[in-house]
Amino acid sequence: MARRPIILFVTPPYHAGVVESAGVWMPLGLVYLAGHARAAGADPIIYDAMSLGHGHHDIARTLATTKPDIVAVSSITATEPDAREVCGTAKRINPGIVTILGGVHPTFCWEELFRKDKNVDLGVIGEGEETIAAVVRSVSAGAGFGTIPGLAYRSGGAPARTACRPLVPSLDAFLPAWDLLDWPRYFYRPGPEGRFAIVSSSRGCRKECSFCSQQKFWARTWRGREPLSFVTELEMLRDRYGVRVAMLSDETPTVDPARWERVLDLLIERRVGVDLLMETRVDDICRDEAILHKYREAGITHLYAGVESGDQDTLDMFKKDTLAAQSKRAIDLINGAGIVSETSFVLGGPGETPASIAKAVELAKWYSPDMAFFLALTPWPYSDMYPSLAKHVATRDYRKYNLVEPIIKPDAMALDEMRRALISATGAFFMDKFNRLGELPPWKRDYLVKVLKLLIEHSYLGREMRAMAQGASMPPEIAATLAGRPAEVDGK
Ligand code: B12
Ligand code: SF4
């Protein structure tokens, strides 16, 4: 090819409607991939169809006007059908376009993918930066793909794959293409006014939770960036693009205590001043009790730590490697440090009943995080727990594999009953929280009132929570907020 190939990176137009209600989130993975495609000689475009609210018609129009040589789409399990449809549209417009799917789903389900869809040319297995660069170089040279490590493809009509690609040793060597984002699009609704980024300080997790795809995706490895490199990147995003709030995409940013404390110290010393949202494990929070004040000083305002269950047998079955008592302690510590605490509980196993769900809601109230979500137990087909649950899986419609819709039918409950029970559980937790708003410091109250409004107006929980909000137990300040009047919360 005489000119630089055009590579269009696309987010599939899929919406599950929970986390998305909190803001507009950038596709960080595509930022990294685009940087490496550019360095390899392509002209990359990041087309965030999901955040733009575009549907497949809009995508067809964009494909027709941008005329890409390569269409590269990210795919988790829930977005797989829409990701394939994007490839189908590309092939209809120009069969010569090379279509690629990457991310956690094709990494594990490439055989099924190539069996069912002829519109996907390549699947990228695992970490994508070096593989996409190699694909770009092959397209430019008019060469084949069969010798590029980390690829799945079709050979003689059958699925085939090349050798595994080793992980890149240093995360600081990556070349994120921050300049390709349409920055004004990305914002965090409950936070202070300002631009929202997703950033990465580490990749991976060495634990073995049996429901989790991430430890498998990163092959139970963990790599951390140099603290200074991460912190100066955050400063650059603040100064060049006006970033005021950032979420860490890391699975477990706190694994290495010395590195993590250095990150916190640098954020404090250099007065970075960006609000940070992150997740980590409850055992690391307990470990860090003595330095939790540094988390807050460093700008961490919102911390998610997965409790998953209050029952030790269930935690052991999940291979969570935490103690139920640790979870309570961790949430108390986060609350005590002046940070918004968020957690989730996984429900919907074969033995679930309305009574066990009611018990879980009571337990969640006792744990007392600021925010709790009740998620559907979702055995990804490649998860460690899948074989033991396979016979209970009620649907292979991947669009439902979103942690919101149950895909397992409990023995004693209908699927739709389970779906409604999950929504009611989250609704009941939040209604209780709002009845006890006066127990919280004023800034947390304001934040949670904003969150409730967003959940009601923008998420799948909206209808259920609106119905509950009309009930007699509706706190007056929430009623006022929902009615569009300023919330007046007495400061007990
Ligand atoms: C940020 C985030 C979001 C953002 C997405 C922003 C975006 N457009 O990317 C928001 C908040 C919108 C979101 C929503 C949801 N998310 Co989410 N999200 C994450 C999170 C925390 C970080 C993702 C990230 O940026 N990682 C960092 C980058 C660098 O890594 P990466 O994305 O994996 O990309 C690398 C490789 O995968 C690969 N790659 C990825 N895509 C592609 C594409 C090509 C072409 C190539 C070559 C390579 C490639 O190369 C990249 C660089 O090495 C992950 C958990 C995690 N820690 O990863 C969950 C996660 C991906 N989300 C998950 C889920 C379930 C959802 C929701 C369904 C939840 C819900 N009910 O609302 C929705 C789906 C919405 C949607 N349309 O995608 C699950 C997916 C599980 C699974 N196995 O399918 C995860 C893993 C969390 C979990 N609980 O397990 N999410
Ligand atoms: S749930 Fe969290 S701690 Fe457990 S394996 Fe996944 S990323 Fe690691």
pLDDT at 468: 66
- Ligand 1 mean position to 103 CA, how many Å? 8
Is any ligand 2 atom within 6 A of the Cβ of residue 254? no
Convert the pLDDT of each residue in 239-288 to its tens digit: 999 999 999 999 999 999 999 999 999 999 999 999 999 999 999 999 99
- Looking at CATH, the fold of the domain delimited by 171-433 is given as TIM Barrel (3.20.20)
Ligand 2 probe mutation, 214, 304, 343, 384, most atoms within 8 A of CB? 214
Class of domain 6-155: alpha beta
Q: Whose CA is nearest to atom 3 of ligand 2?
A: 207
Give the separation between CA 58 and CA 49, rounded to whole angstroms.
8
Q: Tell me, letter by letter, the H, E, C secondary structure of the chain.
A: CCCCCEEEEECCCCCCCCHHHHECCCCHHHHHHHHHHHHCCCEEEEECHHHHCCCHHHHHHHHHHHCCCEEEEECCCCCHHHHHHHHHHHHHHCCCCEEEEECHHHHHHHHHHHHHCCCCCEEECCCCHHHHHHHHHHHHHCCCCCCCCCEEEEECCEEEECCCCCCCCCHHHCCCCHHHCCHHHCEECCCCCCEEEEECCEEECCCCCCCCCHHHHCCCCEEECCHHHHHHHHHHHHHHHCEEEEEECCCCCCCCHHHHHHHHHHHHHCCCCCEEEEEECHHHHHHCHHHHHHHHHCCEEEEEECCECCCHHHHHHCCCCCCHHHHHHHHHHHHHCCCEEEEEEEECCCCCCHHHHHHHHHHHHHHCCCEEEEEECCCCCCCCCHHHHHHHECCCCHHHCCCCCCCECCCCCCHHHHHHHHHHHHHHHHHHHHHCHHHCCHHHHHHHHHHHHHHHHHCCCHHHHHHHHCCCCCCHHHHHHHCCCCCCCCCC
Ligand 1 probe mutation, 7, 10, 19, 278, most atoms within 8 A of CB? 19
Atom of ligand 1 nearest to the CA of 50: 77
Same fold flag, 6-155 and 171-433: no
pLDDT at 405: 95
Q: Whose CA is nearest to atom 21 of ligand 1?
A: 249
491: exposed, middle or buried (C-beta count within 10 Å: 0-12, 13-18, 19+)? Answer: exposed
Ligand nearest, relative to CA of residue 70? 1
269: exposed, middle or buried (C-beta count within 10 Å: 0-12, 13-18, 19+)? Answer: exposed
Ligand 1 probe mutation, 74, 188, 202, 454, most atoms within 8 A of CB? 74
Is any ligand 1 atom within 6 A of the Cβ of residue 33? yes
Is any ligand 1 atom within 6 A of the Cβ of residue 318? no
Is any ligand 1 atom within 6 A of the Cβ of residue 25? yes
Q: What does the domain layout of the chain look like in residue ranges?
A: 6-155, 171-433
Is any ligand 2 atom within 6 A of the Cβ of residue 202? no
The ranges of the chain with pLDDT < 70 are 192-193, 463-465, 467-492
Is any ligand 2 atom within 6 A of the Cβ of residue 344? no
Which structure tokens are listed for 177? 């293409």
Give the separation between CA 105 and CA 117, rounded to whole angstroms.
14
